[in-house]
C-alpha cells in the first residue's frame, strides 16, 4: 500500500464549506476554460486500461466513448471487462479488505482530502472532460465538479466523526462502547449524468469508511471515471482498494451483484435496473454469509407547484431551469409543472417565451444553454415520448430533434399543456427536455396531483403563503422539498439527497447519515475487574 504520512483529525479541519462555482462572465475564467478544452482535446482517443487486483490490465476487448455533441469524436478507448476479470476484482477486493479496513480513519480521510484538492487544482480540466464526454454545458459541468470536491471534503469529515462516536451510557460495573466498522466489498454502479459527482461520491464514501470497491462506471462516461481513479491513486489510495472495470452491464452486472463476496451494492440509475439489483441481491448465494445491502437512487417524476400566491416570474424561471438544465437529464429535473388555474394561461405564455429563447447546440460553446442528450438511444426514447405526448396534451413549443452539422443528439426543449394526471407523460420518467403542465383547481388539488406518482424524489412549491408552506412540508411526499427555488441543485451538507418510494432507498447522499450505509455498529461491553 502507498505510504501516506499525513493524518488529520476533525478538530484541526475548518468547518465544511461548499466549493464555489466559477464565474464564466470573467475574461480570465473563460480563457482558463478555453485552455482546458484545448488540453483535453489533445488527449482524445487515449486508451484506458482496467484496474484489477492492483494491476493495470487489458482484456483484449475495447469500446469507445464518444462526444454526444459530435459523435465522430472519440473521447477515449476503454478496455471492456470480461466476467472472469469482474469475478477476479471482487475476489481480490475481498482478500485485500482485511488489510484496508485496518488503515486508520485519519489516514483514509487524509487521502480523500488530498483527492479533493487534486481535483480542485485541475478543476477546469475536469469541467472540460464533462463538456466533451457528457455533453454538459460549462456551468452544469462546473457544478458537477464542485459537488465532487464537496463529497471528498464532507465524507472525509464524516469518516472522522464516525471513528470517534459519542460515548454510550455506562452500565454499572462495565466499560461500554459502540464502534462502527466497515462492511467489505462494495460494487459501485454510478450513472452517466453526474460522471464525477455521483461516481466520485459513491466511490469515496465507501472507501473512506474502510471498504474496498469494485467500480463499474457508466458506459457513456467512463473516461471521467478513469481520470478520477487516477486521482485516487495519486492521493495515496492503494490500487487494490479500488478496482476499475468498465464493461457491459448485461455481461458483468448480474455477476457483480450476485457474487457471494459482494457485501453491498451502491447504484444510481433507472428504476428498472435498480429493482433488478434489489431482487438479485436479496437471493442468498452459496457461500454467502451476510444479507447484502443495496443503496439505490432510482430517479423521479418531479413536480413544481405554482400557487396562486406566488412570484410568477420567479416560478417561471425556476421551472425553466429545473426542466431544461442539462437537457432535463437529472433525476431531480422538473418534468411536471402543476399550476393554479388563476395563473395557468399567464404562466404558459411567459414560460413559452423563455423556452423559445433557449439556444441549443454543442456543449463546448458557452453561448448554448442546452447541449445534447447523452446518446442516440436516449434521443429516440425522448422523441418517442414526445409523440405520445402529442396525443395526451397540447404541444406548446418544441417537439422535434434539431439537426446540426456536428451530428449531435440535440432536441428542442418541449412543453405540453393540459396534461391529465393519467397520461404517460405525467406518470413516466422521460429523462429529457420534456415538461408536462397541468392545471390545479386550488392548493389542495395541486398537492394531490404532485403526490400522484410512484416516485418521490424532489419537489418545489412557489408560494408566499406561510400556511401553504407548512402544509406542503407535511403533505408533499418527496425526499427533497424546496420552496421558492428550483427543484435541482441539491448542495452537499445543506440538502442531503435521496428519495421516497420508487425513487430509491432514501439514503441521503451528502448528509450526516450517509456513511452508515457502509458501516455496521459493534456494541462492546467489558466487565471491569
Predicted confidence (pLDDT) per residue in 464-488, tens digit: 999 999 999 999 999 999 999 999 9
Q: Is 297 a catalytic residue?
A: yes
For residue range 273-322, list pLDDT tens digits in order: 999 999 999 999 999 999 999 999 999 999 999 999 999 999 999 999 99
Q: Is 313 found in the same domain as 256?
A: no
Per-residue pLDDT band at 1 (split at 50, 70, 90): very low
Residue 37 lies in a domain: no
Residue 477 lies in a domain: yes
Q: Is 415 found in the same domain as 480?
A: yes
Per-residue pLDDT band at 244 (split at 50, 70, 90): very high
User: Which one of 297, 364, 412, 429 is the catalytic residue?
Assistant: 297
Share of the chain above pLDDT 70, in %: 99
Q: Is 146 a catalytic residue?
A: no
For residue range 3-19, list pLDDT tens digits in order: 444 788 888 899 999 99
Structural domain including 209 reads 82-120+137-298+507-524
Say how far apart CA 126 and CA 476 lie, in whole Å: 37
The C-alpha cell that represents 491 in the structure block: 448542495
Q: Is 361 found in the same domain as 334?
A: yes
> Residue 379 is part of a domain; what is its CATH number?
3.40.309.10
Using CB atoms within 10 Å of the CB of residue 55, give its burial: 0 to 12 exposed, 13 to 18 middle, 19+ buried. Answer: exposed
From the list 179, 181, 199, the residue with the least C-alpha distance to 190 is 199
Number of domain units in the chain: 2
Per-residue pLDDT band at 2 (split at 50, 70, 90): very low
- With a CB cutoff of 8 Å and minimum separation 6, the contacts of 193 are 134, 326, 329, 330, 331, 374
Residue 10: predicted pLDDT: 83
Q: Is 313 found in the same domain as 250?
A: no
Kindly report the average pLDDT of the chain as a whole number: 97
Q: Is 253 found in the same domain as 170?
A: yes
Q: Is 440 found in the same domain as 310?
A: yes
Q: Is 217 found in the same domain as 188?
A: yes
Q: Is 454 found in the same domain as 326?
A: yes
Residue 26 lies in a domain: no
- With a CB cutoff of 8 Å and minimum separation 6, the contacts of 310 are 343, 462, 463, 464, 484
For residue range 185-234, list pLDDT tens digits in order: 999 999 999 999 999 999 999 999 999 999 999 999 999 999 999 999 99
> Residue 149 is part of a domain; what is its CATH number?
3.40.605.10
Residue 178 lies in a domain: yes
Say how far apart CA 60 and CA 78 lie, in whole Å: 10
Q: Is 173 found in the same domain as 289?
A: yes
Q: Is 461 found in the same domain as 341?
A: yes
Say how far apart CA 175 and CA 61 lie, in whole Å: 57
Q: Is 317 found in the same domain as 200?
A: no
In the block, residue with C-alpha cell 453491498: 264
481: three-class secondary structure by DSSP: strand
User: Which one of 146, 152, 310, 331 is the catalytic residue?
Assistant: 331
Say how far apart CA 472 and CA 479 lie, in whole Å: 13
Q: Is 313 found in the same domain as 282?
A: no
For residue range 483-526, list pLDDT tens digits in order: 999 999 999 999 999 999 999 999 999 999 999 999 999 999 99
Contact between 267 and 145 under an 8 Å Cβ cutoff? The reply is no
Start-end of H helices in 170-311: 197-208, 222-234, 254-258, 271-282
Amino acid at each position: 500500500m502507498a505510504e501516506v504520512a499525513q493524518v488529520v483529525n476533525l478538530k484541526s479541519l475548518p468547518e465544511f464549506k461548499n466549493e464555489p462555482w466559477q464565474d464564466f462572465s470573467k475574461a480570465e475564467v473563460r480563457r482558463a476554460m478555453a485552455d482546458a478544452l484545448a488540453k483535453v482535446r489533445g488527449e482524445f482517443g487515449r486508451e484506458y486500461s482496467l484496474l484489477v487486483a492492483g494491476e493495470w490490465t487489458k482484456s483484449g476487448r475495447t469500446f469507445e466513448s464518444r462526444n454526444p455533441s459530435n459523435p465522430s469524436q472519440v473521447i477515449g478507448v476503454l478496455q471492456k471487462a470480461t466476467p472472469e476479470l469482474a469475478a477476479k476484482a471482487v475476489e481480490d477486493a475481498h482478500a485485500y479488505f482485511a488489510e484496508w479496513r485496518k488503515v486508520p480513519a485519519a489516514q483514509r480521510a487524509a487521502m480523500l482530502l488530498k483527492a479533493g484538492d487534486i481535483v480542485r487544482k485541475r478543476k477546469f480540466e475536469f469541467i472540460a472532460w464533462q463538456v466533451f464526454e457528457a455533453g454538459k454545458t460549462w456551468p452544469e459541468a462546473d457544478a458537477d465538479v464542485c459537488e465532487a470536491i464537496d463529497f471528498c471534503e464532507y465524507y472525509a469529515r464524516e469518516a472522522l466523526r464516525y471513528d470517534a462516536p459519542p460515548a454510550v451510557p455506562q452500565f454499572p460495573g462495565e466499560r461500554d462502547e459502540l464502534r462502527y466498522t466497515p462492511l467489505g466489498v462494495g460494487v459501485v454502479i454510478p450513472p452517466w449524468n453526474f460522471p464525477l459527482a455521483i461516481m466520485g461520491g459513491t466511490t469515496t464514501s465507501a472507501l473512506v469508511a474502510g471498504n474496498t470497491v469494485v467500480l463499474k462506471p457508466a458506459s457513456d462516461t467512463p473516461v471521467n471515471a478513469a481520470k478520477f481513479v487516477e486521482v485516487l491513486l495519486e492521493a495515496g489510495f492503494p490500487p487494490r482498494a479500488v478496482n476499475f472495470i468498465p464493461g457491459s452491464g448485461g455481461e458483468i452486472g448480474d455477476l457483480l451483484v450476485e457474487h457471494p463476496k459482494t457485501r453491498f451494492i451502491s447504484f444510481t440509475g433507472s428504476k428498472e435496473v435498480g429493482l433488478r439489483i434489489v431482487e438479485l441481491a436479496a437471493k442468498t448465494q452459496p457461500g454467502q454469509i451476510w444479507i447484502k445491502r443495496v443503496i439505490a437512487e432510482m430517479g423521479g417524476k418531479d413536480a413544481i407547484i405554482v400557487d396562486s400566491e406566488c412570484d410568477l416570474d420567479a416560478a417561471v424561471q425556476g421551472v425553466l431551469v429545473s426542466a431544461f438544465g442539462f437537457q432535463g437529464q437529472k433525476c431531480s429535473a422538473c418534468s411536471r409543472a402543476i399550476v393554479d388555474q388563476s395563473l395557468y394561461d399567464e404562466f404558459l405564455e411567459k414560460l413559452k417565451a423563455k423556452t423559445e429563447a433557449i439556444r441549443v447546440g454543442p456543449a463546448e460553446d458557452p453561448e448554448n444553454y442546452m447541449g445534447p442528450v447523452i446518446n442516440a438511444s436516449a434521443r429516440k426514447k425522448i422523441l418517442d415520448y414526445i409523440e405520445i405526448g402529442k396525443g395526451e396534451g397540447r404541444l406548446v413549443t418544441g417537439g422535434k430533434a434539431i439537426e446540426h452539422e456536428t451530428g449531435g443528439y440535440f432536441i428542442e426543449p418541449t412543453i405540453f399543456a393540459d396534461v391529465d394526471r393519467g397520461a404517460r407523460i405525467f406518470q413516466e420518467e422521460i429523462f429529457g427536455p420534456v415538461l408536462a403542465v397541468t392545471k390545479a383547481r386550488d392548493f389542495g388539488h395541486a398537492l394531490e396531483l404532485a403526490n400522484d406518482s410512484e416516485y418521490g424524489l424532489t419537489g418545489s412549491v412557489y408560494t408566499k403563503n406561510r400556511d401553504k408552506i407548512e402544509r406542503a412540508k407535511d403533505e408533499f411526499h418527496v425526499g427533497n422539498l424546496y420552496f421558492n427555488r428550483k427543484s435541482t441543485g441539491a448542495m452537499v451538507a445543506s440538502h442531503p439527497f435521496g428519495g421516497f418510494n420508487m425513487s430509491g432507498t432514501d439514503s441521503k447522499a451528502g448528509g450526516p447519515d450517509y456513511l452508515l450505509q457502509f458501516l455496521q455498529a459493534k456494541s462492546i461491553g467489558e466487565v471491569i475487574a
